[in-house]
Structure 1
Amino acid sequence: MERRRWLQAAVLMCLLLLCSGRELKDEPAPVYNSTLAKTLAEYTSAVYTTDLSQLFTWTCEKCNDLTQGFEMIELIIDVQNCLEAYVGFASDMNAIVVAFRGTQENSIQNWIEDLFWKQLDFDYPGMAEAKVHSGFYSAYHNTTLRDGVINGIQKTMEAYGNVPIMVTGHSMGASMASFCALDLIVNYGLKDVTLLTFGQPRIGNAVFASHFKKYLPNAIRVTNEHDIVPHLPPYYHYFPQKTYHHFPREVWVHNVGLDSLVYPIEQICDDSGEDPACSRSVSGNSVQDHLHYLGISMHSESRGSCRIVTDGNMLRYKIGAPDGTIILSKQPGLSVDQQLSAL
């Protein structure tokens, strides 16, 4: 019995070395910080809070632990399209955090069908032949989210200086986060932009992925076990120019081991975006794996609708916005009580 346990331990050690060390032989591994990933996962989880009052004042159940002390600046809710994002300042990281919520309308199973939409020509300068997912592109560029996010970033920078920007999101929110990070660099000339997403679907073709890599070489997409969404829209190996293609770099979180000796690892994948040894090595057949990342819940308390709740006092923070949009905004450096007393 003891010999069997030693054998299992030896096999587990070999698996860990194989998964964590394979890439080091090929090229230097990119910077992946597990603590930062867990922190941004908590920021991403918080955006699923239904009660806008708790989210805006950062008093929600998910607004603690590694995100404690975060200062919310701008909260944008496009009610018509069931989209949401927020911008704020994390003093412990001296950084702006931008988080996008994943889809909340209907169920995961239903909206997965929408991931098969056709591609759209990408109109960014110098990116000929790049094509992107029309729905994800439009969710960021053709709704009120983009203006609200940019306004929040500018307002926060005016107060705290040219600090780093960390953009994150889960599921469809990860897609919008990716377009946002690229937008900030290409169209607004910002340099210090970090992108780290969770459970992201493919958003463009191989040409787009190649351009994306040039502008955001250290972007990280965290995938989890058999999560179905990173496998969509499908990747067709025989149509490299037309198929959807992930941009690098993936970090695949999964368990390795035998029997009771199971150990979770964060495997850093190659720079192709489609490493066959990472999440593509397993079937993407789990919705449950999509709803939890790094031990953190990634879904709303009220699944199945775009329901939101807010205190009447919060509407005093509302600023002018198009129909169907709620924007709660405050001046950086002021607490909620200070701003309410100044109104």
Structure 2
Amino acid sequence: MHTHPFLHSLLLLLLLPLITHCSILSAPQPGFKYDEKLARLSLEYAAASYADNPWPCLRKNNASLVLQVDVPCDAVRDKCWAIIVDAPEHIVVAFQGTSSRTQLITELVESITSPKHQVPGIGSVQRYFFVALESISKHISIKLDKLRETYPKKSVLFTGHSLGGALASLAAAEYANCSGIDPSSLYLVTFGQPRVGNHEYAQSVDRLVPNTWRIVHKYDLVAHVPYCVGFRTCQDFLNHSPYHHGTEVWYPTNMSEHDIYKVCDGLPLDEDASCSNDHLLYTIDDHLRYFDRHVSDYGIDGCPVEPTPPGTRKTKKTKKNQARYRNLNRTLEDMPEMEAIAMITEVAMERWARDYLEYVWDWWHRRNTTGGGEELIRPSW
């Protein structure tokens, strides 16, 4: 069974970094309606980011590749990937997820052991992605600014699947915060995105990037990690708990053409308890497929009109792809599903416990620290 880079992201339970060196801009929230046509188009670009050669996917959609970023993004020099695309109506920035076992281990270790990074006015983010996105955004921001000067009437679309969705969230928030772009010209569409930050971060993204659709397929497991404090629907008064941003669009069936969906605008805001949060059992399979496409295979195969049926894919990976995958020994896809879920849950519990300890610490600190008293030193969990 072949491997897929984003499968390694299933163990990463805190994907929260945001690189922001600008003051927050209070953007008015324009009214918007879910556009399934735009969502399906976004998946084309998200899938293209998985391919060494994204041109077949782009040509199919009358788009062209402007930049493909492939840079070391952490201490062990794992790679981060992104593409910038000139499309008929949009300038698109699409992100790929985790690409190697060492990158998975680095992300996992730093997510569990590193203290959260508090960005003033934004919220709590994780250090690993703070550094990773900073590495990749240096290459993206200059090109994106030039494209906006050339095509001032085109909107900007950030997108990604799985970990790519988390990076798209962080990049969109940073760009909105620093560029002064009209919020009505900025879109964020993600697929199977994990929770990216705490409630403060979610509020910041909602304000900066109001045109956000967070698409969830049926019982997608990754869309529910890291788990909330309390495991079920997240609560906005627990700021140490992970919390989603953006409006969820939930597809409770197979996401085939004309399948039903629900725009989840109930309470709690951004964590509607009546949509995917209303279920306890989740599956990896629903994470792999969006709009009836196996996302990474679809992109690597060139986004064919009739995608290869599951289990019959014969397209050979390029030498570059083979080199990227050759050290991946045993992936979550190779495991029995319940074993994979057990592994994810084990790490999720550790992350949940640290969040809960931080919540109790802050409560105790506020209760026992008085003005003029000695400031207590916060432990690193």
TM-score normalised by the chain length of structure 1: 0.67
Aligned to 2:252: 254
Aligned to 1:264: 259
CA contact (8 A) 2:118 2:125 kept: yes
1:259-284 CA-to-partner distances (Å, cap 9, x unmatched) read xxxx8322110261211111111235
CA contact (8 A) 1:86 1:98 kept: yes
CA contact (8 A) 2:78 2:103 kept: no
Task: Tell me how large the CA RMSD over aligned residues is.
Answer: 3.1
1:95-124 CA-to-partner distances (Å, cap 9, x unmatched) read 201111122223999899569535623325
Select 2:139's aligned residue among 148, 170, 173. 148
Aligned to 1:219: 212
Residue-pair matches, total: 260
Please tell me whether residue 46 in structure 1 is matched to residue 48 in structure 2.
yes
Distance 1:109 1:276 in 2: 31
CA contact (8 A) 1:104 1:304 kept: no
> Residue type of the partner of 1:233?
P
Distance 1:197 1:236 in 2: 23
Deviation at 1:160, TM superposition (A): 2.3
Deviation at 1:78, TM superposition (A): 1.7
> Residue type of the partner of 2:96?
R
Gaps of 5+ in 2: 1-29, 301-316, 327-381
Gaps of 5+ in 1: 1-27, 257-262, 309-343
Higher strand share: 1
Aligned to 1:241: 239
Distance 1:240 1:199 in 2: 23
Please tell me whether residue 208 in structure 1 is matched to residue 220 in structure 2.
no
> Residue type of the partner of 1:40?
S
CA gap 1:138/1:267 in 2 versus in 1, 3 angstroms: farther
Aligned to 2:289: 292
Q: Secondary structure at the match of 1:280?
A: helix
Q: Which runs of 4+ in 1 moved over 6 A?
A: 107-112
Q: Secondary structure at the match of 2:251?
A: strand
CA contact (8 A) 1:88 1:152 kept: no
Distance 1:30 1:119 in 2: 37
CA contact (8 A) 1:101 1:173 kept: yes
Distance 1:287 1:138 in 2: 28
CA contact (8 A) 2:158 2:189 kept: yes
Select 1:101's aligned residue among 69, 78, 96. 96
- Aligned pairs for 1:35-184 (under 5 A) are 35-50=37-52, 54-55=53-54, 58=55, 60=56, 62-65=57-60, 67=61, 69-79=62-72, 80-91=77-88, 93=89, 95-106=90-101, 117=112, 120-124=116-120, 126-127=121-122, 130-141=123-134, 143=135, 145-184=136-175
Deviation at 1:297, TM superposition (A): 2.4
Distance 1:282 1:159 in 2: 46
Aligned to 1:283: 280
Percent of matched pairs sharing the same residue:
26
Deviation at 1:137, TM superposition (A): 3.1
Distance 1:150 1:135 in 2: 20
- Aligned pairs for 1:192-203 (under 5 A) are 192-203=185-196
Distance 1:183 1:217 in 2: 13
CA gap 1:37/1:107 in 2 versus in 1, 3 angstroms: farther
Aligned to 2:324: 306
Aligned to 1:340: none
CA gap 1:109/1:186 in 2 versus in 1, 3 angstroms: closer
CA contact (8 A) 1:292 1:298 kept: yes
CA contact (8 A) 2:63 2:85 kept: yes
1:120-142 CA-to-partner distances (Å, cap 9, x unmatched) read 23325x34xx212333333212x
CA gap 1:225/1:135 in 2 versus in 1, 3 angstroms: farther
Distance 2:98 2:226 in 1: 16
1:185-218 CA-to-partner distances (Å, cap 9, x unmatched) read 1112122211111110111111111122111222
CA gap 1:229/1:113 in 2 versus in 1, 3 angstroms: farther
Distance 1:30 1:283 in 2: 30
Aligned to 1:323: none
CA contact (8 A) 1:252 1:268 kept: yes
1:144-193 CA-to-partner distances (Å, cap 9, x unmatched) read x1011112212322332352101101111111111111111111212221
Aligned to 2:351: none
TM-score normalised by the chain length of structure 2: 0.61
